[in-house]
Structure 1
C-alpha cells in the first residue's frame, strides 16, 4: 500500500459536490478548493494499522508572521477533544477508578450536578460520554486569554462565563442531545476522582502512551510554540484576534493537536476493537463504537457511520476559527485526519472525507432478491412489505403505495423520491432490513 501515491492522486481530484457520495466530473485540487473557500491552511494525515503514515500540509498558518503549514503544525482539535477525553475516561473505567453506570455524584467533589429546580439528578458516566444525560444545550466559543474563567465557573455559569450554568434539563437517558456541557462535567469528574488536573491526567493516560507528542490539553500549549501553531480565521477569512481562543472546557473543545497525532488514537481504537491493543480492552473499545441510543449515530465519545461496507468511526470538530475531522475505516484498517484554520473549512473537509469514503469502502455482496421478500416490522404500527416485480424490489410501508427501489452495486436499494436507503443483512433467522434516513439507521425484523 502506497499511501503517498494514493493521496497525492486523490487530493488532485476532489469532488466539488459531494452530496451524492460519488465522484462527479466536476473535480478540483485541494489547493483549488482552499482558494474557493478562502481556507488559509490545511493539514492532512493518513495512516494504516500496519504502521504506515503519510502526512502533509498546504497553505499557511496565518497571522502576522505566517509560515507554511507542515505535518507538525498544531491546530485546535475542537470537538475531537471529546473523542480523546472519552478514550482517557474508558482507561479509568478499565483501571476500576470509574464505573460507566455509576451516578456522577459518586465522583464529583468540587461541584454538584443539579436540575433547573436545584435538585440532584441521577446521571451516569456513560450518559455523559454518550450525550444522553440531557444536560444544558451549549456550544463553547472560547475566550480571550485574559478573560477565560475557570472550569468550575463554567459549570456554575459565574464570573466571566458566557454560557449558562450546566444543569440537567431533559430526562437522563431518554434521548441523544449533543452538547459540550456533558464533557465539562466529565472533565471535572475525572479530575475529582483522581485528584489530578485534567490536562496532566490526559497527558499521562493517553498522549504519552500513544506518542502524541504534538498534542496537549494545556491552554498554555500554543503560547509555548507560536511558530508551530495555525492561527484561526472566521468566516470570510477575518483573523481571530490573538490568533486563537482559550477553551477552559478542555475535554469538550480544548485539545491542540496535529492530524498525525489524531490518527494514532483512532488506529489504536481500531486495534483495541480487534483485541490487539496493549492500552484498551476489546469490550470497552467496542462500546465506543456502539450506538448508545437505538438507531443513533453516537457511541461513547465517537461519531458512528455503520453502513455495511462503509463503516467509519471517529469525530468531527468546529471551534471559533477552526474545523477538523479524524476517522478510521476499520474494514480497511486505515485512518484519515484533516484540520483547517478556518470556519469555512468544512466544505473542503467534506470533499476530503468523501474521497476517503470511496477509497476505503469495502464491497458487500447484495442479498438474493428472492430471499428478502416478505413483511418486516419497524414498529407495531409500521410494517414494511418487500416484493419483487419484474426482477426489481418494491417497497411499501405503513399505507404508502409501493415504489420500485433503485439498486446500487454495493447492495443498497434507494427510494426514488425520499432520503431513504434500504439494505438487507443476513441473521441467524433470515434477513434484517436496515432502513437509513438522515444518517440514522433503524432495523426491521422479518415477520
Structure 2
C-alpha cells in the first residue's frame, strides 16, 4: 500500500442524480433507478476513475414528500450483486437497517455478495431515520423506535453480525478429498448470543470472505452514532456545512478510537459533497443553474421536509422566515436537524431559501467550478483533516460523474494524493483498513 495519505472517493449511486430535478433534465434518465444497465454504467465510470466504492442508499417506505428516486428503486443488496458482475475492482456498498432486519439473514446476504464480488462489499449500517413513521407500519409495528433505543439495538446487532461472520476460521474448510474431510470441526464456532434485543445461536452457513467480512460504514453523527462508529465501523459518512465544523467533528471522532483499542487510521471519514465540474467556472455555474431552473420550489421543500421533522411547507409562503415554521420533535437524523436549525437561525433564512442553502446538491459552493478549483477545495479539506475522503453526491448522473473522472481525478493523481491504479483487490485494501482477525482465533489460548 502507498505510505502517503491518499484521498478516498465514494460514488453515491442514485438514479438520475442527487438533485431533486435531475430526472427532468434533458440529459437525465427518469427511470435510471430501476435500469440496471444505467447503474452498472455509472459504477464502471467510477471504477475507471479508481474510486474506492460505489454506495447505494435505501429507504423501507414510500415518502411522497421526498426525493423522486425513493419512490422506485432496487433493494440495495440485489443491486450490488448485479453491480459485482459488471465491475472488477471497485467496492460496493449496500444500506441495510438494524431496526428492521434480523442479523442472521442480513449476515448471510451480505457475506454471500462479498464472496461473489471477491471481497468488495460494504454494509452501510443504519438505524433508519424515518421522519414520517411509515416504515414501522410496513413491519407490523405501531410506531418508529426512538432514536437512542434504535442505537441500543444497533450496538447489539453489530456484535451479533460480526460473531456470525466469524463463525468459520479462515482455514476451517480443508476440502481433503483423500481422507474425506470437508471441514475441521474445531474451527467452526457458535455465536450463542443472548442480549436484550437478540438471541442468536449460529453458526452462519457461509465462510469468511477474502477480506474477512464486509467493511462496516456508519452514517450517524449524534452521540450514540459516534459511539457506534468508533467502536465497530471501518468508515463513516458525514456532512457538515463548513470546514471548521467538519474539522472539529473529525478530531472528535478520531480521539474516541483509542478507548476502543483502535488507531486513527482504522476509521475512514467520508464527507459528502456535490461537485459540478466544467472547463470553466462560468460553465459549471451554468450547469448548476440549469438544474435549479427545473426545480419547483415546493417540490424542493418536500426534500427539505424529510430532514426537518416532516414539516408541511406547503402551508407557508416562500417568503416566510424559516424560523417561524412549526418544527415538530425529530426522531430521525438529529445531528443534521440541529445543524440545519442553527443555520436557519443564524442567517435568518426564508422558507424559499432552504433547499439552495442547506443541501450540497442545491448550493453553489466551492465544489461548483473548474477542475482546478474543485481539486483545490478537495485538497484543502483533505490536508486540513476535515475528512479522509469524499462521498460524491453528483447532482446529475452520469454527466457530473464523467466530468469529474475526466477532469478532476487526473489533477488529484498528478498531485500524488489519489491513486493512479488499484493496489489491491478487496475493498479493505482500497481503503487501507486491515482484514479483521477472526475473534475466535484471536481468543484461543496457545498451550
TM bin (shorter chain):
under 0.3
Q: Which has the higher strand share?
A: 1
Ranked by relative contact order (alpha carbons within 8 Å, sequence separation 6 or more), the top structure is 2
Normalising by structure 1, report the TM-score.
Answer: 0.25
Q: Which has the higher helix share?
A: 2
Normalising by structure 2, report the TM-score.
Answer: 0.25
